[in-house]
Amino acid sequence: MPNGCQRAGWWMLILIPVILGCYYVLYAFFRESALFALVNNNSRYMTMTLGIVVVVSLFLICLSKEKTEDEMISALRMRTVTIIAYILFFSILVYLLYWSLDAGFRFGHSWDTIFFLLQALTWPLFFAPVLYIAIFKVMLWHSKKDERQ
Amino acid sequence: MKNNLRVERAILDITQQQLAEAVGVSRNTIISIESGRYVPSTVLALKIARYFGKPLEVIFQLEEDE
């Protein structure tokens, strides 16, 4: 995706705290208003929408090109993906080992345990792009340090 | 892999930016190649060699232990 998509992604991500701030203002000062009642009654849709916006904006940032996208940037991306693969693999392994015992104690060895584990495994959907952006930007910044000197 | 990109640039009296534009990469990539932090692909190495009009081995050489 072109570099413009990255800017759009950042703007969408900035929009989240703004929306949450508006919700807090409504909650703090206009709790009796019809608008707050409308928002509060549809909070499930609001949470869903915010979740989708976060995921879409994170993927826009991850998948769009830098201003000058050359082979060194591609190599940096590849290295970042490898690091994330290691982090996710080991964290999921630790998670499965630790929580499968815990969930086993809580729900017993039943389908509930399996559903509990699978439900919690959706977190990499948020975690992976956030990690990718953080690691890639740090590596990019580090590689551009010499250029600035 | 070591290289004498800096020397070749000095001979032709061109900047990192000029070389970067000529071979179609960013200046940051040229800086990284010169400092040995990044090993270019075969295509980029050949483009650089062609730009300087010299064989590849003159600009890029393998280290003793490679």
Per residue in B48-57, pLDDT tens? 999 999 999 9
DSSP B13-58: T--HHHHHHHHTS-HHHHHHHHTTS-PPPHHHHHHHHHHHTS-HHH
| DSSP helix/strand/coil, A125 | helix
Q: What is the pLDDT of residue A138?
A: 92
Measured between beta carbons, the chain B residues lying within 8 angstroms of A71 are 25, 29, 40-41, 44
The whole-number average pLDDT for the span A33-61 is 83
- pLDDT value at residue A37: 81
A72 and A143 Cβ atoms separated by less than 8 Å: yes
Residues near A1 by beta carbon (within 8 Å), at least 6 away in sequence: A60, A63, A64, A65
Cβ-defined contact of A146 to B29 (cutoff 8 Å):
no
Cα nearest neighbour of A146 on chain B: B31
Average pLDDT rounded to a whole number, residues B14-38: 91
Predicted interface score ipTM higher than 0.95: no
- The residue among A115, B32, A69, A103 whose CA lies nearest residue B19 is B32
User: Who among B35, B37, B41 is closest to A71 (CB)?
Assistant: B41
Measured between CA atoms, how close is B44 to chain A, in angstroms? 9
Residue pLDDT, tens place only, A68-116: 888 999 999 999 999 999 998 888 888 777 777 776 666 666 666 677 7
